Chain A
């Protein structure tokens, strides 16, 4: 019996040298903004301003500007919250779990993915604030000493767990992202002059590039990866507890934690896919973000999409098997009730659409990948909407059954989060290196490759 080791595809194509990498990535940071960037940034800021207006109006007038009612107390707010948190997960997964598993292909995408995580978590956090009736008292949800004026919190409440989960997640993600940025910031610093040198110099924390520094850098990365890994699982598990620990049929489900985590990774990868495909084209990074990357991402999307598909079917089975009248109705109502279209949207987008990636040709097709990634994110939004709204709108007492119709406030506040996310992302892509130069350099050549001449 003989074992043939496959020859690995190059993770970075185009025969790039270390210097090429530095040039390719730094070019965008150092050059004047491109016209495309300006247009995209302007649109993002406009959306942010328009949405911000709605956010202010929501705070000024009250949550009545949304479409919620006595029966449906959460709809777009918490849908958006869970959706954004879920999107954030991919960043952590790519940087932490894939690091621990030594998946070198992650190096090209982890920087942008982590940035996305941070911005997405900020968007999610904005909905935590926004959904409160009295957001100016949001700090009451923190276990501050009584002398501060607030009282102790209710540790039984999943919302308090959320506060811990999200804040921990945000802190660790920020730290991880920033530590990873230091060597690259130092690279930029070394090439920069004037004010830029000062700023990037301050940000790079006196990075010398010495062997000892690199060793510590590696250690810290590993430790943070170790810290982040449980977070990937815990954050969305805890988010799912908001629903799983309740008594509402359709929420009260033990399957939620794994199902939410899979869904989060699913949507996060789709979002990373979208952002990377755009960046790849705009910044001409085809050699760094290769078809191999796209294909690998698509595989994970198909896998996680199928996992959530199984979860959807399991829910139905359990509802039927439980013998609980309310559970049965909740699920039949999801699929056939007045909000059937959202259920259909979810099933179509999340379970059916990623199955196209069983075909290699489609998996490596950039347009198809982009479209499916968008579809998946729409689907994942619908998933949260389905869980939240179709469970609430018809729960135990038929007398209170209602319908949910969004109003401009819902839409405006959602647009705000998009504006915020993309404004941040475009600022990031302009002023910080979108690809981790240091780590890419580490995967530049495989050992069998002949060293190019330079």
Chain B
């Protein structure tokens, strides 16, 4: 272009040299319009900073709040546990406990040895109740119509509604608490129309009624199993669920304990059990017979007739003579043990209980093994009163109803009627811990506390009292039921003062409140055992039992040991605890005998439709040895719909019984079974049923042999050497471990272990054992550190063993098998196979005889688990905490509060196993050291040994000659002591005592007679 003065301009502003143009002259683009936006460079800067900041933030460990005490509470030392005596009393289930708290947080429940009732024993569901405290699915607030409300508002509205009501009902399960009853009385005095209705899901109403007619005392007496030489349980799971199982277990075990010492106790009770399904109690019986639910009456009447005939007293009841396996033998033994025998029935049928009363009267047991001097309060439910309430509710006659910690819509036979009737009641209040099946239908939810947040008391038996005290302040905006009732009654809702007042005025009798609170119990028992005179109408009862008609397959609903009636269903510990007998977790099953299953064409892994009338449920089947033919038994307590994630599993059974004449006795005839699908794997922790004749695993004998030879049943392998036969221990490659100070060991008495699984849950709580859920249990990956192996006997003659057919025969359990329970934890082998194979020395031997596991050293090759002959090592297949795939208590902050701070929570990829509660050993040693003394025997207890209701597990220092363990070992050295798999010479620290059954002969000799009987039993 030529040189010219021609000028181009962009706009008039530039031409005029406008100020804005001059200002932006150095900028290529006019960004005025973008002012306030993000420029490229700024964006990059911010991006860079952001990335850096985020990555820096990611580098920091997540913040975990540890809040130090500003003012340290008195009595709380960080790291030192405090123990408080308290009481578990839930729907009549009772246990006196100690609660271990750490920094104000309850972390473990132990037995209270001061209690004369439970004597330091704890049941599985009591241990597990700790976790229910930290249940994230409890409601957080009181509600009205499902919406959050305040207590003030709720109190105002409920009080107003109550004041205008004319027919008030308070519905509860059995209440053991004198103070609660006093509160109810106060409530009734404010609202005169208020009536208290008590029901029990698994009712003993008929027992009370029968006692009323038989003895003129409508109460339940104490049963003294420890004074009985012959014990007969008739559909009565007295070791597992009936009335007071912890107490009964201890009494029963007293009669089963033996001593191999010279002049030691060589007698034991003989236990007969007659039942439909295989209960835990039946599994512990010496002789067992089976009947269908419809034959229950016929059975007791026949037993009565046989006893009467042998004794030559009383008149024969007019019932058809029927044969049952072992009934004749039972009658003979009962008569021989007159006055020192005991017949108990779990039936909820008045006629049956009347005949049982007749039997006990005939045998002179009243006043000997049955004590009316100390009556028990475990079951107070009154079926008639409850039925009347339901009728009134349905008719609309009840205008206000309060459910005090009860859930009848789910756990009462007439639940559906109650649900319907509730619509007609003007006021409905549920005092519950969550919007459960009943509470969700009520207008108001007066949020209840957990018992560990509450004050309370209990009187399980006449003369026995115990206190409940809070060990943590209320986690949610809850208020305990009694306070609510007091508030509505217009009284001070300070329940602590109320309880104290009740105790000081009418219970303590001069003793101090502080002492009672410290001990947890106050007892002034009636020492004299009282009898009663029988005046029942046996003829009428006999007529009633003869008239029972039934056809087809009979369904019996029972209460199992773990889930019970389903109150604590939403408890992952309980759900994952295997049923003691079936070893099934996380669901209920339809149990059939082998023969019935074969008749119906059912196989393991099938599901069936179980139809009663118009109702059908679908269930997986279980083939249960020891089940009566043509029956199906299913556990109650499952199939909840509003319990929570863990609890809403399985199938609810009570609705199926509705409308049947025999429903109150929990059975019904005419069940239709139809196979629906197959190939299902039950979440069972044990799938093989027999011990394959392996005497190095289970050693057992019978009393008659044991009396002759205290080593009866012992299997003593010998190893052939050039110097002749030698004991395995005498030949070894190893130098052994020097134990200079302690040698911790155990003795487990197979004779007194009932298989109740209390130790399993106790261990789970103590050692932070993960819950893995149904799918993982089905894959055989449960994490329990202690398990209870349950073996059935088989009919195979042993000599057939070493052939293919022989082994197959040994795999099949008998139709009515003998059962043995064997608790198994790490055996702490002195020559431990696991220790030699670990490449990184993650598992080593301590100088105190413990096989110890170093989690943070473990790389997870699982070689140790493979090489463990006892298969007690557990591998963390996944990360079981803070993992949505395992949405149990370890996956929420509240649930994790249950973690024992003394025990590491294991990470993914490491092996774990029983440590013999090394944290307790260390704590005990430390206490002793500080006091400059040696630990005293009994001071240190493992979680399992501490909780055992029968003291079947004894723990202690084997180097201390005064310890119970040492004494037991000396006593049984030439007797029942054995170690598992002795011949492989691993030398466990855990010893077992041979199981002795009180039978006439060893099983093989009886096999013939046994098959003869079983043919009759089916009629």
A interface residues, Cβ below 8 angstroms from B = 61-64, 67-71, 73-74, 131-135, 137-138, 140-141, 151-154, 156-160, 163, 242, 245-248, 325-326, 328-329, 332-333, 336, 392, 394-403
Contact = CB atoms under 8 A, between A and B. Distances in A.
21 contacts: A61-B878, A62-B908, A73-B875, A74-B862, A74-B866, A134-B858, A134-B860, A141-B839, A154-B840, A154-B841, A157-B836, A159-B839, A248-B869, A329-B807, A392-B866, A395-B869, A398-B688, A399-B691, A399-B787, A400-B686, A402-B780
B984 interface: yes
A71 B839 contact: no
Interface string B679-699: 000000011101110101100
Contacts of B690: 398
Contacts of B862: 68, 73-74, 131, 133
B874 interface: yes
List the 7 closest pairs (A to B, CB-CB), nearest first: A133-B860, A133-B909, A64-B877, A399-B789, A69-B780, A73-B862, A400-B871
Nearest to A71: B871
B488 interface: no
Interface of B: 686-688, 690-692, 694, 696-697, 776, 779-782, 787, 789-791, 801-804, 807, 822, 824, 833, 836-841, 857-863, 865-867, 869-871, 873-879, 907-911, 980-981, 984, 986
B780 A396 contact: no
Residue with the greatest number of chain A CB neighbours at <10 A, chosen from B687, B789, B802, B871: B871
Given A68-B877, A132-B860, A133-B910, A247 B780 contact: no
A70 to B, nearest CB: 5
Contact of A64 (B791, B807, B822, B878): B878
Contacts of A403: 687
Given A73-B862, A132-B860, A329-B807, A63 B691 contact: no
Contacts of A336: 804, 807
A157 B839 contact: yes
Contacts of B692: 329, 398
Given A70-B875, A332-B804, A398-B691, A134 B909 contact: yes
Nearest to A401: B688
Please classify the interface of chain B as helix (H, G, I), strand (E, B), loop, or mixed, using the class held by over half of its residues.
loop
B871 A397 contact: yes
A152 B841 contact: yes
Contacts of B877: 62-64, 68
A70 B838 contact: no
A402 B687 contact: yes
Contacts of B787: 399
B833 A396 contact: no
Contacts of A140: 839-840, 857, 859
B579 to A, nearest CB: 15
Residue with the greatest number of chain A CB neighbours at <10 A, chosen from B841, B861, B878, B909: B861
Contacts of A133: 858-862, 875-876, 908-911
Contact of B865 (A73, A152, A160, A325): A73
A62 B841 contact: no
Contact of B840 (A70, A141, A246, A248): A141
A182 to B, nearest CB: 37
Nearest to A336: B804
B807 A332 contact: yes
B837 A397 contact: no
B839 A325 contact: no
Contacts of B984: 247, 396
Residue with the greatest number of chain B CB neighbours at <10 A, chosen from A134, A140, A160, A394: A134
Nearest to A138: B859
A396 B859 contact: no
A234 to B, nearest CB: 18
B168 to A, nearest CB: 54
A132 B865 CA distance: 13
A397 B779 contact: no
Given A133-B910, A396-B871, 8 more contacts: A64-B781, A69-B779, A132-B859, A138-B859, A140-B840, A140-B859, A141-B839, A400-B870
Given A68-B877, A153-B839, A157-B839, A73 B866 contact: yes
Given A64-B781, A132-B859, A151 B789 contact: no
Nearest to A328: B802
B871 to A, nearest CB: 4
B876 A396 contact: no
A62 B859 contact: no
A67 B780 CA distance: 10
B164 to A, nearest CB: 59
Nearest to A396: B869
A134 B694 CA distance: 37
B657 to A, nearest CB: 35
Given A134-B910, A247-B833, A397-B871, A70 B860 contact: no
B307 to A, nearest CB: 39
B775 to A, nearest CB: 10
A48 B857 CA distance: 32
Given A134-B859, A329-B692, A154 B838 contact: yes
A399 B776 contact: no
B869 A132 contact: no
Nearest to A162: B839
B980 to A, nearest CB: 8
B256 to A, nearest CB: 22
A325 B715 CA distance: 13
A141 B803 CA distance: 43
Contacts of B860: 63, 132-134
Residue with the greatest number of chain A CB neighbours at <10 A, chosen from B782, B822, B878, B980: B878
Residue with the greatest number of chain B CB neighbours at <10 A, chosen from A157, A336, A403: A157
A71 B862 CA distance: 10
Contact of A163 (B688, B839, B980): B839
Given A69-B781, A154-B838, A248 B866 contact: yes
A31 to B, nearest CB: 46
Given A62-B909, A63-B875, A329-B692, A70 B781 contact: yes
Contacts of A157: 836-839, 863
B861 A325 contact: no
B688 A399 contact: yes
Contact of A396 (B839, B861, B981): B981
Contacts of A152: 841
A245 B733 CA distance: 13
Residue with the greatest number of chain A CB neighbours at <10 A, chosen from B781, B839, B874, B910: B839
B865 A396 contact: no
B691 A62 contact: no
Contact of B870 (A132, A245, A396): A396
A397 B863 contact: no
Contacts of A247: 833, 867, 869, 984, 986
B804 A132 contact: no
A63 B909 contact: yes
Contacts of B863: 73-74, 157, 159, 242
Residue with the greatest number of chain A CB neighbours at <10 A, chosen from B776, B780, B980: B780
Given A157-B836, A328-B802, A398 B779 contact: no
B799 to A, nearest CB: 13
Contacts of A160: 839
Contacts of A242: 863
A222 B880 CA distance: 55
Contacts of B802: 328, 332
Contacts of A332: 802-804, 807
Nearest to A404: B780
Residue with the greatest number of chain A CB neighbours at <10 A, chosen from B857, B867, B878: B867
A141 B870 CA distance: 26
A137 B878 contact: no
A398 B839 contact: no
B861 A132 contact: yes
Contact of B871 (A246, A326, A395): A395
